[in-house]
Amino acid sequence: MGIFAMRSSGLLLVLGTLLLTGTAHAQCTIASKVCAVANNFNPVPKPPNNPDNKSPTCGGSVAVTPFIDAFNAASPSIRTSLCQLKNIFVSSGPQGWGRFNDPTKHGHDPHQPNDQAEDSYIAVAQPDIGNTFSQLQDQNLKLINPGVAANINHAETNTVPELGLLYAMAHELGHVIWHKQYPLGQPLHIPCYDANFASSWQHPNSGKGRRWTEFDDETIDKHPDANIRMPKAATTPAEMADIYKVYATALAGANPEEDFVDMYALEAVFSSTHCAKQNCTFAMNFSTGIPAVPLNGNRGTMIAGKRQCANTAISTLHPARQIKRQRRHR
Ligand SMILES: [Zn+2]
């Protein structure tokens, strides 16, 4: 401050304006990004899809109000990231998806001007819109392990649909961040990942540099502690509760990528402006007498470290291309 004290008030005014715009975070008209995905675009890079040098496009308009409400409930950092997506699609489902156009696979066909390297997109499944965060947690658990899920239901103090849609969007945004930071054959990374997540996996690098990860893919890696079951293999509510001592959710316990991504999505909800204004609590409740699991409470040092890393990622990593510092190789 002292350096500028003797400069003219005109410069101070300019400086003040710069500081203001610098702290306001990049914002956008989120509604202009929201549309139905054209031609039922399937991003899964497997036959019969022809995934290289192809990107999804808008195929029609959808109701944008839920997206505006969810965007407005998000923290400034999540809003910055959502603004850097090329599109936010509504798909027919059953699952949403997130996609980062890896430079090795996209942007190489001059006849496909829509396909640009490093563009990113998310899609929310139509049936997920209008659900609360807890309803989406119930749904994930039913898809992963219906037997155990029958004895579990999630509840929250503020049952508002915008936090459900914020969760759905932030989960897919987390996949975009993951694939941007761990691209095919490139030495980028998520700086706090190894310190906070690696010990939860036998082969933590197995999640890095992948082209595509299906919902709840439990074949990628296994838990190092055999007492913590893989989510599909849990046979009792108590075994499911044990997973939540190390992993954000059952989905997070499926593989290293989902471990980071679902923690990122949960923190996007917990750090929302909505929850900053009023105390939000989210709980997983059991019908069998096991104590409720507080989803936004610290549940031991593992979860605390992961939460902190996810929050760092939310505030420092975004979908858009970043200016890279030149590195000197020694
Ligand atoms: Zn996922």
Could you read off the pLDDT of 206-262 as tens digits, one per residue? 889 899 898 999 999 999 999 999 999 999 999 999 999 999 999 999 999 999 999
Q: 236 alpha carbon to ligand 1 midpoint, in Å?
A: 24
Calculate mean pLDDT across residues 289-314: 93
Burial 267-295 (b: 16+ CB within 10 A, else e): bbbbbbebbeeeebebbbebeeebeebeb
Strand partners, 286: 152
Query: What pLDDT is attached to residue 300?
Result: 85
Q: 177 alpha carbon to ligand 1 midpoint, in Å?
A: 12
Q: 172 alpha carbon to ligand 1 midpoint, in Å?
A: 6
Cis status of the peptide bond prior to 48, with omega within 30 of 0: yes
Q: What percent of the chain has pLDDT over 70?
A: 89
Q: How confident is the model at residue 45 (pLDDT cuts 50, 70, 90)?
A: confident
Q: How far is CA 76 from the centre of its chain?
A: 15
Q: 330 alpha carbon to ligand 1 midpoint, in Å?
A: 37
Cα 140 to Cα 231: distance, rounded to the nearest angstrom: 11
Q: 15 alpha carbon to ligand 1 midpoint, in Å?
A: 42
- Answer whether residue 7 shows pLDDT above 50: no
Burial class (CB in 10 A: 0-12, 13-18, 19+), 189: exposed
Token couple for 148: 């155990």
- Answer whether residue 186 shows pLDDT above 80: no
Q: Are 120 and 180 in contact (CB under 8 A)?
A: yes
Q: 258 alpha carbon to ligand 1 midpoint, in Å?
A: 5
Q: 156 alpha carbon to ligand 1 midpoint, in Å?
A: 22
CA separation (Å) from 206 to 132, 143, 313?
32, 24, 20
Backbone phi, then psi, for 116, in 5-degree steps?
A: -115, 135
Q: 260 alpha carbon to ligand 1 midpoint, in Å?
A: 9
Q: Where are the domains positioned within the chain?
A: 24-316
